[in-house]
Amino acid sequence: MRAPQYSKDPQSIFKSEFIYNPFPILDSLRKNSPISSIGNSGFHLISSFELIQEVLDREADFSANLKGVLYRSHDGNPDCFDLSETGALDVIATADGANHARHKKVLANAFTTKSVMQYETYIRKITDKEIQKIKVNGGSCIATIEKIPAMVISKLIGLPNTEYDDFMRWIMIGGSILAGEISSEGLHYLAVETEKMSGYLLEKFDLLQNPNFKDQSLLSVLRDAFENGVLSQEEAIGIAIILFGAGGESTSALMGSSIYHLATKSEIQNELRKNNELIVPFIEEVIRMFPPFRFHYRHVNSDCFLGGYPLVSGEKLLLSWDSANRDENQFDNPNEFSLKREKPKNHMGFGRGAHFCIGATLARLEVKIFIETLLESFDQFKLINDPRYLNSIFVRRFISLDIEEVKN
C-alpha cells in the first residue's frame, strides 16, 4: 500500500497560507501520516523526527544528490523539475559518502570555533555600522540583514569588499530554483547569474596561482586542495558557490526571524536586555521553531521501505525540518517558545548527522552579535506593519520587515 496523500488539494503546498503558517498542517500529518505523497509528483513529505533521522542514517538508500526539485507545473499541480541532465556537480550538502567526506575535510579547519572566532571583531564592526542604517532607512531591516552575511561570507572566502551588490544578488539567487516557482525566464536569469558568479570566482581563483596572492582565505584553501589533487577545479568553484549561497541566505533568514520574534514579543526583549546570556538559547529556539530552510531533499536510490510504506527508486523525499523541530515525541510543548529547554541545540534546524551544516558556528556567531547590537542600538521596538515572506516553499526569508522604537 502506497503512502497516503499529503492533502486532497496537493496545490495547497504552494499557497501563501502554507508558506506563512505550515505548522497546523504539519502537526496533523506528523500525527496521522508522517509519510505522505504530494500529488503525483513522485515526492513524499517526511514529517516525524524519528523517520527523518532514519532517512539520514540510511545513506545507502537515500542520497543527498539533488536529482530533482518540487515545483508548481503549468497546471498548478506539484511536479518534479529534473536536474539530472543539468550537469551540476554534487558538492558538500548534495554530495554523498566519500565525496562528501573529502569536501568537508578540506573545509574543516576553516570552520572550527577557533577559526570562526578570529572574525568576531570584523563582524562586530560591520554589524554596528549596518544596524545604524535601519534607522536611516525608516526602520526597514532587509538591506541590513542581507548585507551583513554577504560581507562576512565574502571576507571568509577572500573576496574584495567593493562588490557587495553583486555578492548579495548572487547569495539570494541560490535558493531560487528551490522556491517552487520555475519559469523559462527565471531559469535563464539563474543560468546567466551563475555563470557570472562562476567566472568571477574562477578569475580570483586563478590569481592565487601567484604566490604573492596567497592568503588564509577559504579560496586559497580550495586552491591548495586543487593543486594537491584533492579537488577538481570544478569542485573547488562549486564548493565556493554553495558556501556563498548557503552561508548568506540562511543567516539572513535567521536574522529576520530573530527580529520578528523580538518585535512581536516585548517580554522576550525585556528578558534578553536584562540577561544577555539568554541570547544563545533564544537563537536556538528561533532556529528550532523557524528554521531558515524549511526542508532538505533526499533521492531514493533503490526500491525500499520507510515507515512501512514502499518507496520506488527515483522518487524524492522532502525532510521537513519545520515539522521535525515541533515533534511532540521529541520536544515538550513543541509549539511554545521557551528559553529554558534542557537541550536547546537538539533540533534539526542546521540538519543532522554527516550533513550537519558546516557553517553553523559562524551563523550562530553572526546572529548573536547581530542581536546584541540590535538591543544596544534600539530601545524597545515593535513592527511598523505586517512583514512579508518570500514566496518560497524552501527558504523562510522576509522580503519586507520594518521596525520602530516604542514611544513612551
Domain boundaries of the chain, sorted by first residue: 10-405
pLDDT category at 244 given cuts 50, 70, 90 is confident
On the question of pLDDT at 225 being above 90, the answer is: yes
3-state secondary structure of 250: helix
pLDDT at 211 (0 to 100) = 61
On the question of pLDDT at 40 being above 60, the answer is: yes
Residue 113, all three cell numbers: 570555533
On the question of pLDDT at 335 being above 90, the answer is: yes
pLDDT average, residue stretch 352-376: 95
User: Chain centroid to CA 347: how far?
Assistant: 14
Through-space distance between the first and last CA atoms of the chain, rounded to whole angstroms: 62
Give the C-alpha distances (Å, rounded to integers) separating 141 from 62, 146, 255, 334.
39, 9, 10, 29
Q: Is 94 exposed, middle or buried (0-12, 13-18, 19+ CB in 10 A)?
A: buried
Crossing angle (nearest 10°) for helices 218-227 and 184-207: 80
The DSSP element (H or E) to which 388 belongs, if any, is strand 388-389
Closest CA to 67 of 316, 355, 319: 316
Q: What are phi and psi of 43, to 5 degrees?
A: -105, 145
Q: What are phi and psi of 36, to 5 degrees?
A: -140, 140
Q: What are phi and psi of 339, to 5 degrees?
A: -95, 10
How many C-beta atoms surround the C-beta of residue 118 within 10 A? 11
The CATH superfamily of 10-405 is Cytochrome P450 (1.10.630.10)
pLDDT at 217 (0 to 100) = 86
Strand partners, 227: none
* Largest distance between two CA atoms of the chain: 64
Of 73-82, 329-338, 367-376, 395-404, the least confident:
73-82
Cβ contacts of 349 within 8 Å, gap of 6 or more:
284, 287, 288, 291, 292, 321, 325
Of 4-8, 187-191, 244-248, 286-290, the least confident:
187-191
Do the bridges between strand 381-383 and strand 403-405 make them parallel or antiparallel, or are there none, so unpaired?
Answer: antiparallel
pLDDT at 253 (0 to 100) = 94
Q: Is 224 exposed, middle or buried (0-12, 13-18, 19+ CB in 10 A)?
A: middle
Q: How open is the CA angle 79-84-88, to the nearest 5 degrees? A: 120
Whether pTM > 0.85 for this model: the answer is: yes
* Percent of the chain topping pLDDT 70: 92
Per-position DSSP letters for 306-327, written without gaps between them: ETTEEE-TT-EEEEEHHHHTT-
Q: Is 238 exposed, middle or buried (0-12, 13-18, 19+ CB in 10 A)?
A: buried
On the question of pLDDT at 10 being above 80, the answer is: yes
On the question of pLDDT at 179 being above 80, the answer is: no
Sign of CA dihedral 49, 51, 57, 61: negative
Residue with cell 562562476: 198
pLDDT at 382 (0 to 100) = 96
Q: Is 129 exposed, middle or buried (0-12, 13-18, 19+ CB in 10 A)?
A: middle
Per-position DSSP letters for 195-244, written without gaps between them: HHHHHHHHHHHHHTTSGGG--SSHHHHHHHHHHTTSS-HHHHHHHHHHHH
Q: How many CA atoms lie within 13 A of 359 on its CB side?
A: 23
The span from the CA of 305 to the CA of 61, in Å, is 9
Strand partners, 297: 318
Q: What are phi and psi of 292, to 5 degrees?
A: -55, -45
What average pLDDT is seen over the chain?
90
Per-position DSSP letters for 332-343, written without gaps between them: SSTTS--S--SS
